[in-house]
Structure 1
Amino acid sequence: MVESSSSKTKFAQAHGRYIRGSASKVRRVLDQIRGRTYRDALIMLEFMPYRSTGPITKVLRSAVANAENNMGLDPASLVITRATADMAPSMKRYRPRAQGRAFAIKKQTCHISISVAPSSESTNSEASD
């Protein structure tokens, strides 16, 4: 649980470290789900034709579980507030080529971070009760 000192909004986060796949390809998917509700994001991830949706779904479910278990928030009211993919170290491999040469192959990895927070509509309705 993290509380911002300026706005006092609670949010939960989860990180996936050293995920195989380039950060740019993961960002392509994260850009689609950023700002959406948890349920909408899960539906979108299920039907997207990209390989990176598997690890992203896993990190998203972890962030929602953190919000539910550590902060007592309702998963139906959660919105993805922050979703980033940063570069991680590349695994270096070599491919044998003709005449004794070797070509380098970089197998890229990335770090995925997702933060979820209660939507502003649910926060306003709880405050008015």
Structure 2
Amino acid sequence: MITKNSTRTEVKALAKNIHMSPFKARRVIDQIRGRSYEETLMILELMPYRAAFSILKLVYSAAANANNLGLNEADSFISQAEVNGGTVLKRLRPRARGRSYRIKRPTCHIKIVLKDKSKKSLEESKI
């Protein structure tokens, strides 16, 4: 989704039903919120968490959306990054004496918004 304003342009990317806990994904998202695109890539590539790979793919997708609009992704930063809980998959695991044990597998929705911070928009915001 692409939104054009008079001074800035923002590009959104949304991933739904990612098979991980929203708490684990928020741990990674909190580290990249407000950072530049290039700095975000370095942080996500070096993070040891499994959630970092899914978020890295989503940041690449948002950058591709910006490239389709004709923006330079090197001049953009992450203005919004949020994680919301998705549906919970309920599964059964067999236990002793023919009983079953419920397992809850959480999912989450991740949204990333990139904004352009080019020289023109910075000069206009100072005036």
Tell whether the structures are fold-level matches, with TM greater than 0.5: yes
Tell me the residue number matched to 1:2: 3
1:108 alignment partner, SS class:
strand
Tell me the residue number matched to 1:113: 111
- 2: distance between equivalents of 1:3 and 1:121? 17
2:32 corresponds to 1:33 = yes
Cα-Cα RMSD? 2.1
- 1: distance between equivalents of 2:30 and 2:47? 13
Read off the aligned partner of 2:4 and give its amino acid letter.
E
Alignment of 1:25-64 (within 5 A): 25-64=24-63
2:14 corresponds to 1:15 = yes
Q: Is the 8 A contact 2:15 2:110 kept in 1?
A: yes
Deviations 1:65-104 (A, max 9, x none): 111112x111110000001111111111111111222110
Q: Which runs of 5+ in 2 are unaligned?
A: none
Structure 1 runs (4+) greater than 6 angstroms displaced: none
Q: Percent identity?
A: 42
Q: Which runs of 5+ in 1 are unaligned?
A: none
2:35 alignment partner, SS class:
coil
Q: Is the 8 A contact 2:8 2:117 kept in 1?
A: no
Distance 1:127 1:93, change over 3 A: closer
**Which of 83, 86, 89 pairs up with 1:88?**
86
Normalised to the residue count of structure 1, the TM-score between the two structures is 0.88
How many residue pairs match? The answer is 125
Q: Is the 8 A contact 1:93 1:104 kept in 2?
A: yes
Normalised to the residue count of structure 2, the TM-score between the two structures is 0.89
Tell me the residue number matched to 2:71: 73
- 1: distance between equivalents of 2:115 and 2:15? 18
Read off the aligned partner of 2:3 and give its amino acid letter.
V
In the TM superposition, residue 28 of structure 1 has moved relative to its aligned partner by: 0.5
Q: Is the 8 A contact 2:7 2:121 kept in 1?
A: no
Q: Is the 8 A contact 2:8 2:121 kept in 1?
A: no
2:87 alignment partner, SS class:
coil
Q: Is the 8 A contact 1:77 1:122 kept in 2?
A: no
Read off the aligned partner of 1:84 and give its amino acid letter.
E
